[in-house]
Structure 1
Amino acid sequence: MNHPHSRLRAGNPEAFRDLFRDHSSLVYRHAVRVTGNWALAEDVVSLTFLEAWRLRGKLRDEGDSPRPWLMGIAVNVLRNTTRAARRHSAAMSRVPAADPVPDFADELVGRMADSEELAAARKALARLRRPEREVFALCVWSGLGYAEAAATLGVPVGTVRSRLSRARTRLRKLADEELRRAKRTTEPLPPPGQTQGSRDTAARPHKETHR
């Protein structure tokens, strides 16, 4: 009995339509989270599936799902794409946007509560080393299991676990720093003469405990 991947290796058009139907949204959501740019994410999807067609002969029979193979291609496309877009993205991140995340943000960013937190998380994520950043994006934002992420990146499962642990530890600290920095630059100063009483806390930002 032929393995289901054999139809993909043979270049069967129906098999590739099924691959796109079943997994293009995963690639897209992952690319949106990594790049923060929907138009760029669409390009990543197109390039990923073009590369999947070109590299179809390298798909092996291990496992029932082509997700690790496909996401491995997506990760490589993202590495190349984000290098080219890095300076543009850095410039755009300094420009305040009126509505950077629309109503379906919850679907796209998981537990991120609002656009401010998403922006802080993306800036914090950009400060991690690439291996930790990729593992975090695959496991936390895109929901791949340890084994799938390991197969995607071509590393042992233990490496995925240790990288994710380091990423979580660093991100807690970095995201807090980014949120505090964002609040300092966006919160209005209290009106003159209103620094007494309850306003005293405004003069002691280091005492804040929320977030």
Structure 2
Amino acid sequence: MKILQNKMPQNLILKNVSKHISLDENEISYFLSILTEKKYPKKSIILKEGEICRSINFVLSGTLRSFYRDSEGKESTIMFAAADWWITDMACFINQQPAMLNIETIEESLILQLKKEDLDNLYIKIPKFERFFRIIMQNAYIREQVRVIQNLSLSAEQRYYIFLEKYPEVSKQIKQKQIASYLGITPEFLSMIRANKK
């Protein structure tokens, strides 16, 4: 596969990887060669529930969200991903099963995709990437565990303030109903919280 020519994607993802592992020039070259750069317009569905989840995605620019849609069509936002974040339906990606989640772009987004078979080969060719993705997955697990505990122990208002601290830029790009679905409250109740904040 063609190595990324644009320096911006190279620099951003290599900086992300370097937080946890160090690569030599050959390892960098191989890693970049298995990534696919894709640009998506606003409101593009990059993963639809029921499809096999074939890739993990690194966000270069833009904002994405993953969400679950129940049988009545109600959406619950699971997470947001801005630049320098990874996003996928992890359980379905690892097991190559139909996706439980949808992933869409909130605004025009540029992402790098890494397919499951390429990731498996990467682990064999450059074993230190097992450490990198283990840390990524551990951090994701911790983040979700903390979120569940916050949902059980904190008020909606407290969770909203935490959201604003965690996603300061994302919060400016997304609709109120998407924030509400992430917090597990109605848009009307979120409006009341925001009104009280002023």
TM-score, length-scaled by structure 2 = 0.31
Q: Decide which structure has greater helix share.
A: 1
Whose relative contact order is higher, 1 or 2, with alpha carbons under 8 Å and at least 6 apart?
2
TM-score, length-scaled by structure 1 = 0.30
Q: Decide which structure has greater strand share.
A: 2
